[in-house]
Amino acid sequence: MSVPYGESVMTSTEIPSGGASAAASRRPVLTAALGAACISSSAILVTLSGADAVTAAFFRCALAVPVLALLAVWEQRRLGPRPLRSRVTAVVAGLFLAVDLVLWNHAIADVGAGIATVLGNLQVVFVAGFAWVMLRERPARRLLIMLPVVLAGVVLVSGMAGGGHMSGLEPAAGIGFGVGTSAAYACYLLILRTSGGRSPHIAGQLADATAGATVGSLVLGLALGGLQLDLPWSSLRWLLVLALLSQTTGWLFITASLPRLPAAVSSLLLLLQPAASLLLADVVLAERPSLVQVAGAAMVCLGVLASTKSSNAAASPAAAAP
């Protein structure tokens, strides 16, 4: 069944109250944008920790699991248990997240941070295509028009337009890793979105997905090497902040908003992450962006705003219905 652009997947009688779910039911675009702002700190926190790719991916998820598990238990007492099929599907989504996190870091090493940023954000194209073919969610004309503008902004934010080049070790392999990152991320978003369905369980869904990502990161770390379990507190504290701010708070907002927005729109909103990361890098790491990068960030924000304007308008009447 086709889902019209901007129409909420959940009906007014099925919208839960309280917490991120209530916020998402009223303002799904704003909720998703807040989540994107939270996860935009990921690269900064990984840099401050000094941990390598696989180690950061593992601890990001492993440290978040206990907090999410406690929230899931509290949620289950209020709303009842979740179906086993939904839980298994969420774990499978987490396995794709683990692949995404590991491939992303390998892409940075092989092709350079700028091009890896662009390749890693092609997930919106994969999500829009998959949702159109598999979920019968045809993207709105406005989104199709603004998508090239947003992607052009991501290119400018990455620094490629300022004379950047492939500075990595293996450009061909890096491009493959980058495209694989986007495909894995798209699979994670779509599976996580469908695993929840009409269920109001948010913390439980994310807890299962994060547990799957923890196991996947551990397996990939042991298979590919590089996993370091004995970290000093100076590194571990930043990874703890990463787990609480990005993997817990940020993804709770995003998970709550996913079923209430068309798949392509929710994916597009996550493109706010590179622009927000640019601002955080300036404030936290004193990495001054160029005028071209600032212009790219403005293009991303304006493009996302123009593409999602009708989504909040369509969602608000549904949320306000008795």
Side-chain half-sphere exposure of 185, counting CA atoms within 13 A: 26
| Rounded Cα distance, 290 and 281, in Å | 12
For residue 232 the two structure tokens come to 């000093």
For residue 104 the two structure tokens come to 């992303």
More confident residue, 268 or 158: 268
pLDDT at res. 24? 52
Q: Which residues contact 70 (CB under 8 A, 6 or more apart)?
A: none
pLDDT at res. 15? 36
Contact (Cβ atoms closer than 8 angstroms) between residue 123 and residue 273: no
Per the prediction, the chain carries an average pLDDT of 75
- Model pLDDT for residues 105-164, shown as the tens digit of each residue: 777 666 665 566 666 667 777 777 777 777 677 777 777 777 777 777 777 766 656 544
Residue 9's pLDDT band, with cuts at 50, 70 and 90, is very low
DSSP 122: T
pLDDT average, residue stretch 72-93: 90
- Model pLDDT for residues 184-235, shown as the tens digit of each residue: 988 888 888 887 666 678 899 999 999 999 999 999 888 877 788 889 999 9
Q: Is 226 exposed, middle or buried (0-12, 13-18, 19+ CB in 10 A)?
A: middle
More confident residue, 246 or 18: 246
Side-chain half-sphere exposure of 82, counting CA atoms within 13 A: 26
Give the angle subtended at the CA of 310 by the CAs of 304 and 311, to the nearest 5°. Answer: 80
Sole residue written with tokens 């593409």: 307
